[in-house]
Structure formats: C-alpha cells, structure tokens
C-alpha cells in the first residue's frame, strides 16, 4: 500500500491504474540488492573511488618525487582533476585504426572494465553489505581476474599495430609467471580457514588475522597481485618508455579511459581482497562501524601498492618469468608446507 | 548451498555490462565529435611518428614458449590442490599422504622442465 489517510487514499485511488502495474518496478528499485548494485558497493561508488584513486596515485607519486602533483581543479588539492580528465576525454574523437577489428577493439577494454567492477561485488564490506555471497568466493574472484590478460591480448591483436600486439603478448607471458603462485598463496588461506566463502574467511579471523600465520603467503599474494594488476614494477604490457603504453597505444579518447580504468578498479578490488583474506576484513574494535575498518585497511594497502610503484624500477620479461617460476613458486610451495604443519600439527590454531 | 549468490552476481555483471555498453554507445552517438573527411594518415597505426611499415601482427617471442606449455599443465594441477586444502582438517595427516605424494611426484618433472625452459638459447 502506498498511502493511508483520507486525502492520501483518494490520491492513491486516483493513481491506482497508473501505479498498480508499476508496483513491482518500485519494489525492485527500492530493494537492498538493487541499491547495493547501483550505489554501494556497486557501480556508482566504484566509478567515484576509481577516479579518486587516480588522483591519489598522482599525489602519492608526486610526494615521493618531491613534487606537488595535481593542484588546480579543486576544492582541495586538485581532487577533481580526474573528473576534469574524464570530461576532457569524453569530448575527444574516437579514431579506430585502419584494418583493425573494430568490434573487439572497442569491446575488449569495455569488458575489462566490467570484469574489474564485477570483482568488487564478491567482497564483504560489512556484515550483510555484500552483493553476492558466493560459496566459492575466493576462487571465483581469482577466476574472473584470470580473463583479463586474454582481453589485453585481444585488444592488442585487434588494433593491428605492432606495439599493442607486443604488449598483449607480454600480458599473456606475464600471466604464466604469476598465476600459479597467486592461486597457491590463496590456497594457504583456504587451508587455514577451511572454507572458500569470503564472509566465512573473515569470520575465521576473529581469533587472529591470517597475516601472522600466513606472512609468507601474504607477501607472495601482494607481489603476484601487483603483477596481476600490471602495475609498476610489473607493468610490462604497458611499459611507457619501451613500447609506449603497449596495448593501450592506439586507444583514443573515452576508450583510453576504458583501458586505463580497470587498473584503478582492480587496485581497489585487490586491496579489498587482501584486506579480507589477510587483514581481518571488516573486523575491528566496535567503537567504529565495520565499514570504516574495511575501508581504512583497504586504503592502507592501496597506498602501500602505490608506494611500490614510485619506488621500484620495471623488471624485464625474462627476469619476471624466471622469478615467478622459480623463486615465487618455491616460496608458495614452502608456504603450503608451513600451513600444512600449522593446520595438521597444531589443530587448535 | 552451492548456488548461493549466483543469481546476485549474475544480475550484477549483467547490470554492469549493459550500463557500460550503453554508456559507450551514448558517448559515441551523441558526445564524441566526428571527422567528416579524415585524412589517410589519421587512421594509420601509431609508430612514434614514423610511417608504419610491415604487418601489424608480427611473429614474436618464441623463446618463452616452454613457460606457456608448463602453465597449461601446472595451472590445472594447482586447481586439484584446492579440493584437498578445503578439507584438510577433516582429512588430517593420514588422509593427506596421497596428495603429498602427488605433489612430490609432480615437482620432479617441474624442476626438469624449468631447467630446460630457463635455457632460452635452446628455443
């Protein structure tokens, strides 16, 4: 029922032929799931946080390099710089290079943006504040992210240009180096928690965060997730100074935005996942809401990864492949051995 | 509860996909400018100002091919370990013996394959 009271009732009966068929639509638009999908942690918040992370990255890098960074588009410290860039890029011409596969050229970065945003839907931000509480949440997250090098290769192939194609192939080879250590470091968490559900993994950390028994696993996860996000020091597919942005070289205007955007969305999603499986997620002292703890821990991880970007030089592809297949894989197997001893040898932990 | 959350994530991804594609189409149709008479140079691939030469889709990097082969095998093997890791507390030490044998047996050819793959001059 929409209203009560005399005038309200007459208004309702007057509008009934209109509102009656629309009632399911109104119910859907006000349901918790729809609000979560559209507002938080869904689409709108992801877009705003992604733009703010672009600003934060420029500011952090500038601070490390003793510069000032974005300053003018502001109420405070150039915080609206990325929104100004968004508007500028939207009004640029879309040039599709000749002999390219236009459909895949446009759809590959767009789908990458969708996949990056889909990751956020698996993360529990607070008790009940989670779009999809999947039973296999952790492997589902890693499985969705596995598709992204394929999309990069598709983008590089469809552009029919040399540097994008080299960047796409680099993404493919790079995936072979980090993928298995990434999954094996997540396996340590699953062995400790005895579940793959992200909300239950958070609940299992109420006696202690997993970063203490899983310190080695957390280190491997951080390194491999930076490689997965293709950020410095592992940004081989888009190395600006060697292959001039790699697979993004041919993207104009708003498509360049769609190609750059997944980087920041994946940074947000991976930091939230790291917080969830190693840093106790939304757990924390109860004088502040769980969402505050979740977001502040996530922001800490994000700033740590941004500092890696401005601190380390880029590695070569053969160095990355060799390190991934020997050092990181060996460490991941050692981590599984340690976790096995912890779980089977000390069952009370 | 295997299907728990699957409709929600499906609806979420579908919503994201439709809204993103709609945004791109709206931008393409109504906002981005169009050049009625593009010059031929504008459509050429970008090669740092040089005139593009040769095919765009070149052959590239065969020397890392063994890593791809190893990835195809060992990525699947790593997935098997998840079924074991999930039930580790129930299996205990005695139930884990076959898995540990499985890991050790697979590590020996992995070491040999790495030895071959790291000698890139052979490929």
Q: Give the residue from chain B lying closest to A345, CA to CA.
A: B93
CATH number given to B6-122: 1.20.58.1610
Question: How confident is the model at residue A220, as a pLDDT?
Answer: 93
Q: Is residue A53 part of a domain?
A: no
Give the residue on B whose Cα is nearest the Cα of A107: B21
Contact A43/B15, CB-based, under 8 Å?
A: yes
- Is residue A250 one of the residues assigned to a domain? yes
Phi, psi dihedral angles at A129 (to 5 degrees): -90, 75
pTM over 0.90? The answer is no
Asked whether the beta carbons of A294 and A275 are under 8 A apart, the reply is yes
Q: How many domains does chain A have?
A: 1
Beta-bridge mates of residue A129? A126
CB contact under 8 A, A134 and B9: yes
Tokens of A119: 């990751």
Among A18-22, A141-145, B10-14, B67-71, which is the least confidently predicted range?
Answer: A18-22
From the candidates B85, B91, B92, B95, which should be mutated to test the interface with A, based on the most A CB atoms within 10 A?
A: B85
CA A147 to chain centre: 13
| Rounded CA separation A152/B25 (Å) | 21
Beta strands in chain A (DSSP E): none
Q: What residue numbers bound the domain in which A204 lies? A: 95-345
Answer whether residue A102 is part of any domain: yes
CA distance A325 to A333: 11
Q: How far apart are the first and last CA of chain B?
A: 49
Whether pLDDT at B29 is above 60? yes
Answer whether A330 touches B (CB < 8 Å): no
- In total, chain A counts a number of residues equal to 349
Q: What is the CA radius of gyration of chain B?
A: 26
Q: Is A12 on the interface with B (CB under 8 A)?
A: no
Containing B34, the helix (H) or strand (E) segment is none
Question: What number of helices (H) and strands (E) belong to chain A?
Answer: 15, 0
Q: What is the pLDDT of residue B115?
A: 87
What residues contact residue A67 under an 8 Å CB cut-off, 6+ apart?
A: none
Q: What is the pLDDT of residue A9?
A: 55
Identify the pLDDT of residue A3: 46
pLDDT of residue A2: 47
Cis preceding linkage at A233, omega within 30: yes
Contacts of A169 in chain B (CB under 8 A): 60-61
Residue B87 has pLDDT above 50, yes or no: yes
Per-residue pLDDT at A271: 93
Q: Which two tokens stand for residue A117?
A: 């945003």
The predicted structure's pLDDT at residue A1 = 43
Q: Inter-chain contact B86–A194, Cβ cutoff 8 Å?
A: yes
Q: How far apart are CA B73 and CA A83, in angstroms?
A: 45
Q: DSSP class of residue A237? A: G
Q: Would you give per-residue pLDDT tens digits along chain A (349 residues)?
A: 444 445 555 555 666 666 677 787 888 787 888 888 888 888 889 989 988 998 999 999 999 999 988 888 777 778 888 888 888 888 888 888 888 888 888 888 889 889 888 999 899 988 888 888 888 889 989 998 888 888 988 988 888 888 888 888 888 888 888 899 999 999 999 988 888 889 889 988 888 888 888 899 999 999 999 998 888 888 888 877 788 777 888 888 888 888 888 889 999 999 999 999 999 888 888 888 888 999 999 999 999 999 988 888 888 888 888 888 889 999 999 999 899 888 887 765 5
How far, in Å, CA of A235 to CA of A246, rounded? 10
Q: Is residue A16 part of a domain?
A: no
Does residue A57 lie in a domain region? Answer: no
User: Taking a C-beta distance cutoff of 8 angstroms, is the pair A277, A201 a contact?
Assistant: yes
- Residue A111's SS3 state is helix
Q: Which of A38, A176, A188 sits opposite B68 (nearest CB)?
A: A176
Burial A103-128 (b: 16+ CB within 10 A, else e): eebbbbbbbbbbbbbbbbbbbbbbee
The answer to whether residues B56 and A249 touch, using CB atoms and an 8 Å cutoff, is: no
Q: What is the DSSP letter of A316?
A: P
Look at residue A305 in the predicted model and tell me its pLDDT. Answer: 92
């Amino acid at each position: 029922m929409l209203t009560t009271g005399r005038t309200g009732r007459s208004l309702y009966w007057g509008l009934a032929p209109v509102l009656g068929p629309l009632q399911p639509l109104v119910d859907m638009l006000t349901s918790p799931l729809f609000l979560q999908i559209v507002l938080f942690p869904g689409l709108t918040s992801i877009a705003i946080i992604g733009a703010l992370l672009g600003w934060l990255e420029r500011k952090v890098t500038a601070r490390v390099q003793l510069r000032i960074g974005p300053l003018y588009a502001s109420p405070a410290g150039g915080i609206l710089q990325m929104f100004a860039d968004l508007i500028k890029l939207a009004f640029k011409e879309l040039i599709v290079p000749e002999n390219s596969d236009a459909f895949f050229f446009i759809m590959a970065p767009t789908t990458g943006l969708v996949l990056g945003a889909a990751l956020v839907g698996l993360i529990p931000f607070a008790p009940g504040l989670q779009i999809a509480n999947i039973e296999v949440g952790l492997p589902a997250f890693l499985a969705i992210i596995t598709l992204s090098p394929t999309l990069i290769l598709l983008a590089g192939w469809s552009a029919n240009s040399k540097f994008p194609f080299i960047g796409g192939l680099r993404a493919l080879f790079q995936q072979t180096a980090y993928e298995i250590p990434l999954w094996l470091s997540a396996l340590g968490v699953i062995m400790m928690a005895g579940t793959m559900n992200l909300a239950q993994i958070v609940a299992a950390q109420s006696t202690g965060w997993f970063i203490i028994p899983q310190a080695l696993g957390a280190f491997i996860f951080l390194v491999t997730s930076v490689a997965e996000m293709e950020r410095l020091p592992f940004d081989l597919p888009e190395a600006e100074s060697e292959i001039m942005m790699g697979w993004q070289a041919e993207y104009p205007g708003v498509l360049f935005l769609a190609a750059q955007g997944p980087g920041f969305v994946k940074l947000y999603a991976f930091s939230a996942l790291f917080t969830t499986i190693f840093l106790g997620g939304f757990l924390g002292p109860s004088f502040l809401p769980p969402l505050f703890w979740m977001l502040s821990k996530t922001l800490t991880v994000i700033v740590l990864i941004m500092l890696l970007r401005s601190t380390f030089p880029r590695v070569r592809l053969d160095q990355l492949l060799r390190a991934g297949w020997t050092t990181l894989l060996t460490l991941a197997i050692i981590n599984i051995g340690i976790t096995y001893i912890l779980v089977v040898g000390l069952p009370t932990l | 509860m295997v299907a728990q959350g699957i409709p929600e994530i499906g609806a979420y991804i579908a919503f994201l996909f439709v809204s993103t594609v709609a945004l791109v189409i709206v931008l393409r149709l109504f906002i981005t400018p169009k050049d009625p008479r593009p010059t031929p140079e504008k459509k050429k691939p970008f090669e740092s100002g040089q005139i593009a030469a040769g095919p765009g889709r070149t052959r590239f990097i065969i020397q890392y091919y063994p890593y791809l082969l190893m990835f195809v095998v060992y990525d699947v093997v790593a997935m098997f370990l998840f079924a074991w890791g999930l039930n580790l507390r129930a299996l205990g030490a005695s139930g884990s013996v076959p898995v540990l044998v499985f890991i050790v047996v697979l590590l020996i050819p992995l070491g040999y394959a790495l030895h071959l793959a790291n000698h890139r001059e052979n490929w």
